[in-house]
Chain A
């Protein structure tokens, strides 16, 4: 049911930069802000980026977000082993049935 499309996987070596894309439409990313979540194995998701490009307190500045039109992206610079996790974009969708919160399909980041 995901209406936000992400690549299933991404990888990099320690220190490299990885970028994850999130493609949506005018009713979600095109109209609302994008949030990103990090889910480490066996744990609950954690808010990583909110309002397109804002980092909650405690999130390293290695993580950055951006949005353009109906797409968004998450960049991880200076990749570290602890960044190996699943990453999800998310946004409100202005559906005809009322506000619907949609998550992306998820991207698994692997450290090589």
Chain B
């Protein structure tokens, strides 16, 4: 059974860097594409970007200047960094697996990140 679990600080100060990790169990990270998605309170879903096990990435242009996604194949994990955060980055952050053609079939439970001083 494939499972994803997000982890990281729930509170980040403005202008600092948000860092989250997604741990994959039941599947090798050396297959499929791996996603980050977020959802601000009371709003819709926003795709942040993806990574492949080779390190190849693609980001949402609206966040590209502040986002970095990396992978650690030895730990079966991938990570998200968002720099220079503001209150607008407050959201539930999800990691997910792309089973192909943009079908995100496995999602983590999500982690709440609040940007506040």
Contacts and interface: CB of A to CB of B under 8 A. Distances in A.
B32 to A, nearest CB: 14
A103 B61 contact: no
Interface residues of B, number: 22
Contact of A56 (B35, B50, B64, B105): B105
A1 B105 contact: no
Given A33-B102, A90-B102, A44 B62 contact: no
Nearest to A50: B103
B47 A101 contact: yes
Nearest to A4: B44
Contact of B102 (A2, A46, A92): A92
A37 interface: yes
B102 A37 contact: no
A1 B62 contact: yes
B102 A35 contact: yes
Interface of A: 1-2, 32-33, 35, 37, 43-47, 50-51, 56, 88, 90-92, 95, 97-106
Interface of B: 35, 44-47, 50, 58, 60-62, 64, 94, 99, 101-105, 107-110
16 contacts: A1-B62, A32-B101, A33-B101, A35-B101, A44-B94, A44-B107, A44-B109, A50-B101, A51-B103, A88-B45, A90-B102, A92-B102, A97-B61, A99-B58, A101-B35, A101-B102
